[in-house]
């Protein structure tokens, strides 16, 4: 998993509340178990019409936001069914962070397992960052995970809280397997001790 340290990028404004996982990646695209290739179907029903043509006024279809790496979203982002394909699709598109006032729990947890930072800020801060994102491609935000800050394009700084263990996983690019492998020496010692203490097992 790619490490998340400092990200400076274009932020796409998506003020809609209750963006659920079916909006992020519709159910017909859940047949695959591959993490790659889902980016083209991210927000599929909002990005394309029935003929598969791009809907011009959808934010990620606009030239300024085609390379967005951050989404500034409305409240309760990632609600709905628990599908890990949602963070897979975001990451495959190029989204590394989502800023909102709140997230659905399962989606929030899945983000950390896939190298995406779901960042919670107060409504006042999100409103300011939403306005900043509306400035387009020339307005780049910076997220510093080590310092736990978001810096707007005009230099306003917003501090955020994050669980230390989750921060550790992102900074070091560790998924669940990686976290387990960090404990490999302790596991080896335990197995050696058990083999000596209970050789019949």
Closest by CA to 3, choosing from 128, 138, 168, is: 168
Domain ranges of the chain: 6-197
DSSP H or E segment with residue 127: helix 123-133
pTM (2 d.p.): 0.86
Is residue 201 over pLDDT 90? Answer: no
For residues 192-197, give the mean pLDDT. Answer: 67
For residues 14-29, give the mean pLDDT. Answer: 94
CATH code for the part of the protein at 6-197: 3.20.19.10
- b/e string for 177-195 if b means 16 or more Cβ within 10 A? eeeeeeeeeeeeeeeeeee
DSSP H or E segment with residue 174: none
Helix, strand, coil percentages for the chain (3-state, nearest 5): 40, 20, 40
Q: What does the block give as tokens for 13?
A: 């404004």
């Amino acid at each position: 998993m790619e490490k998340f340290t400092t990200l400076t990028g274009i932020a796409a404004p998506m003020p809609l509340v209750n963006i659920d996982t079916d909006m992020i990646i519709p159910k017909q695209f859940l047949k695959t178990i591959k993490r790659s290739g889902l980016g083209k179907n991210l927000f599929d029903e909002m990005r394309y019409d029935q003929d598969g043509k791009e809907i011009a006024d959808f934010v990620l279809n606009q030239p300024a936001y085609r390379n967005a790496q951050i989404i500034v979203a409305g409240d309760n982002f990632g609600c709905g069914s628990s599908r890990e394909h949602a963070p897979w699709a975001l990451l495959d598109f190029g989204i590394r962070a989502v800023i909102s006032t709140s997230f659905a729990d399962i989606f929030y947890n899945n983000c950390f397992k896939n190298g995406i930072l779901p960042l919670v800020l107060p409504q006042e801060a999100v409103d300011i960052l939403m306005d900043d994102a509306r400035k387009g491609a020339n307005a780049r935000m910076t997220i510093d995970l080590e310092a736990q800050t978001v810096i707007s394009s005009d230099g306003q700084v917003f501090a955020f809280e994050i669980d230390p263990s989750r921060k550790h996983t992102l900074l070091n690019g560790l998924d669940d397997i990686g976290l387990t492998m960090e404990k490999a020496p302790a596991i080896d010692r335990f197995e050696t001790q058990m083999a000596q203490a209970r050789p019949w097992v």
